Amino acid sequence: MTASLAGFAATGSSARAGECPADKIKAGVREKVDVKAVGVTDTTLGAIDLEKQPANIKDRELRFRKLTIAPGGIVPWHSHDDRPALIFVQQGEILEYASNCAEPILHKAGDIRPEVFGTSHWWKNDGKETVILYVGDVRKDPHDHNM
């Protein structure tokens, strides 16, 4: 177990898997960090123009992607203020460093993470296994390539 995972395990957190412990939630507790994408493959598997659907949501796209994060890989800092998403961890374990949580959040295979307004974060694979995430998001800007 890496030092950061060991530190997480040693806290004795009572939070459910993939959640910030209630006593660690605090807005703006983690500031934006300038980390670059490392060891990440982001593949769009499909997308739907929501303006052309009965929902008629102008300038929005429902997108489904697969992210593969190699050991040591980093998904850089990004915000979900204008891009709600659901993340499903299909394989591996990964740490999330959220702007509103005073400690890293460990996500394991089978976890689903909602990402909504007020969520800014970055992720890191500190493990020895490749992590696979499936991501469904609603994107406004087709040039927004945030992970």
pLDDT single digits (tens) 98-112: 999 999 999 999 999
List pLDDT tens digits, range 63-72. Answer: 999 999 999 9
Q: Which amino acid is at 2?
A: T
Which residue, chain included where needed, has tokens 């507790």? 29
How many angstroms separate the CA atoms of 15 and 24, rounded? 10
Of all residues in the chain, what percent are helix, strand and coil, respectively (each to 5)? Answer: 10, 45, 45
pTM above 0.75, yes or no: yes
Tokens of 118: 């007020």
List pLDDT tens digits, range 3-32. Answer: 444 444 444 444 456 899 999 999 999 999
Helix (H), strand (E) at residue 9: helix 3-10
pLDDT of 113 above 60: yes
